[in-house]
Amino acid sequence: MAVKGKVYLIGAGPGAADLITVRGARLLGQADVVLYDALVTPEMLALCGQAELISVGKRSGQRSVAQEAINALLVDCAFKFGTVVRLKGGDPMLFGRADEELRALEAEGIEVEVVPGITTAVAAAAATKQPLTKRGVARSVAFFTSSTGPDQPEHAALPHTDTMVQYMGGREAAATAERLLAQGRRADTPVVVVENCSRVDERIERLTLTDLARGLEAAHGPVLVMIGEALRLRAHQPALASTPLAQGA
């Protein structure tokens, strides 16, 4: 019987190499092989210089490795290596297709451990010093994406919540804003857009819902869009220097 290794699904965090967890960094240093996402930085990969590196990244609008192929590769690696790491941007359990990979590994009786990471919404709130909840203003938060499965409607219902955080929102954010305005959301509802969160080329822009409906310029990295009254500037909060992301802003 073939010996099976152990697979770790590790969250790399939002981008900065020093925002990975201590456990995640330790396991990277012990890995025999690392299958990593497109958004994982070279600085992060430097933590696992001893391992065989396999790029399995997915980027919107670009050729990428099919999820079924990634699942099969993970299983194959588990029969060849003792310690296998699947390194995912952010947190593995949020928009990371972890369910599909877990199912494939569990079907083969392969041991799996999930190591959480800092999801981008939390890192973006920290970068902008803008809490996603605020007493008396916002007590609920929803993380969502416009990406849907092949058998699901193209425009799924928007979440009903005080603060909305749209992942992978660069192309879809304007449509979200238009739908919210049509539903009666205030035109001056605060919006914060963060591109390349926690990285050296991070960009932050403060908008209104009306501004967002006009659309965003093409981005060069992952874009997160935060919407809601909790994002309104505090009375003495200094405005952050930023590069405009909005068309006509």
Is residue 215 in some structural domain? yes
Q: Which of 28, 72, 76 is nearest to 53 (CA)?
A: 28
Calculate mean pLDDT across residues 125-148.
93
Is residue 163 helix, strand or coil? strand
- Distance between CA 92 and CA 13 in Å, rounded? 9
Average pLDDT score, the chain: 90
| CATH code of the domain in which 34 resides | 3.40.1010.10
- Distance between CA 142 and CA 77 in Å, rounded? 35
pLDDT digits (tens, 9 = 90+) for 17-29: 999 999 999 999 9
Catalytic-residue membership of 58: yes
Name the token pair of 186: 């205030």
Asked whether the predicted pLDDT for residue 248 surpasses 50, the reply is no
- Distance between CA 211 and CA 222 in Å, rounded? 20
Picking from 84, 115, 146, the residue at the C-terminal end of a domain is 115
Catalytic-residue membership of 188: no
Residue 146: predicted pLDDT: 80
The domain of 174 spans: 120-231
- Distance between CA 191 and CA 178 in Å, rounded? 13
For the whole model, what pTM was predicted?
Answer: 0.88
| Active-site residue (options: 6, 32, 58, 80) | 58
pLDDT digits (tens, 9 = 90+) for 182-231: 999 999 999 999 999 999 999 999 999 999 999 988 788 899 999 999 99
| Active-site residue (options: 37, 88, 91, 211) | 37
Look at the chain and report how many structural domains it folds into. Answer: 2
* DSSP-derived secondary structure letter, 156: P
